[in-house]
Structure 1
């Protein structure tokens, strides 16, 4: 196994260990402290950024392994077809074993990279779900009057779990404020137009009275 596939295997084992640590039942206080540390630690943030780049390279390896599997399958199918048709391409014992070995290694690399990417998605989703659960538990305790839930931990979990939601709400709020400003300008224009037309109607009504 080459170096980069060995590193991919080590990453897969690490993901399995992390996943097991996430699903292990822990007391609420311990779990809250753990996820608060993960959410606030700058080292963890840098590690997550580095892992995103690593998964991009693993995706490239996965695409390459799928391509190799396809090419080996085509080569093996073509040789088998020629053998059945009585062609000149005949795979001997050693050649056939070499093709089968390349097929095995290509499939192994494809499964290794594929499961690593798939488990990374599962870890990300599990992490987000646990954050949501902790935030909801903090909210329930706050509504019940628990003062401990009003501190730094609740805000940290809320910010970690709702970063994208907060950004979306801010954009919607800015859009609504622009709509309100536009409506104010339109209302002011309609008011001015109404006053102008009212003055014109009043002026036209007063002219016949003076002529009489």
Structure 2
């Protein structure tokens, strides 16, 4: 296994360990503090940014491995057609070499594919756990638990806004803000219209006696 595929395998092992760490049952307070630290730590943020770049390279390796598997499969099918000829023994040894290359190509494809798939699972699991923690904290606040709320809950809620639900909330808040701006503009236009109407009415009243004279 080459160096970069060894690094991909190491990353896969790290992802498995992280996933096990996410699903381990922990007390609510401990889990809330842990996820608040993860969502706030600048070191974790830098690691997440670096991992995104790493996964782009792994995606390129995955595409390359799929291409290699396809080419090896085409080569194997051509050898299978030529096995009945006079050079069948020589072709047989070459076919074994091609099968070995097919095995390594498939191994690399599965390795990169599972690494990318597990990264998506980790992302969704992290967002779902943040949402569950936020909802559990709201339930405890409603029940009157004094330990609920606080800075950790605010950090978790802010981190949960990175997910899809948070994105929809931000869009809804932006729409509501636009509606408020439109309401203020319409109120300003109504006041201006009322002032202009009053001014026109006062001018008509002032001009009427002059015409009578």
TM range (shorter): 0.7 to 0.9
Q: Is this contact kept in 2: 1:82–1:90, CA < 8 A?
A: no
Query: How far apart, in 1, do the equivalents of 2:76 and 2:188 lie?
Result: 73
Q: Deviations over 1:20-56 (max 9, x none)?
A: 1111112212211211221121111111111111111
Query: How far apart, in 2, do the equivalents of 1:160 and 1:40 lie?
Result: 8
Q: Deviations over 1:91-135 (max 9, x none)?
A: 622200111011111111000000000000001111111111111
Counterpart residue number, 1:80: 80
What is the TM-score of this pair, normalised by structure 1?
Answer: 0.82
- Offset at residue 153 of structure 1 (A): 1.2
Counterpart residue number, 2:151: 152
Q: Is this contact kept in 1: 2:19–2:122, CA < 8 A?
A: yes
Query: How far apart, in 2, do the equivalents of 1:15 and 1:55 lie?
Result: 12
Q: Which residues in structure 2 correspond to 1:94-105 (within 5 Å)?
A: 94-105=93-104
Query: How far apart, in 1, do the equivalents of 2:159 and 2:134 lie?
Result: 10
Query: How far apart, in 2, do the equivalents of 1:186 and 1:88 lie?
Result: 92
Counterpart residue number, 2:37: 37
Could you say what secondary structure the match of 1:147 adopts? coil
Q: Deviations over 1:124-178 (max 9, x none)?
A: 1111111111111111111122222121111111111124525434433443234
Q: Which residues in structure 2 correspond to 1:43-192 (within 5 Å)?
A: 43-83=43-83, 92-163=91-162, 165=166, 167-184=170-187, 187-188=190-191, 191=194
Query: How far apart, in 1, do the equivalents of 2:88 and 2:200 lie?
Result: 95
Q: Is this contact kept in 2: 1:79–1:89, CA < 8 A?
A: no
Q: Deviations over 1:59-87 (max 9, x none)?
A: 11111111111111122223323446x69
Query: Once structures 1 and 2 are overlaid, which stretch shifts more, 100-109 or 180-189?
Result: 180-189
Q: Is this contact kept in 1: 2:134–2:156, CA < 8 A?
A: yes
Query: Once structures 1 and 2 are overlaid, which stretch shifts more, 70-79 or 161-170?
Result: 161-170
Q: Is this contact kept in 1: 2:79–2:91, CA < 8 A?
A: no
Query: How far apart, in 2, do the equivalents of 1:17 and 1:132 lie?
Result: 22
What is the TM-score of this pair, normalised by structure 2?
Answer: 0.82
Distance 1:83-1:97 versus aligned 2 partners, 3 A rule: closer
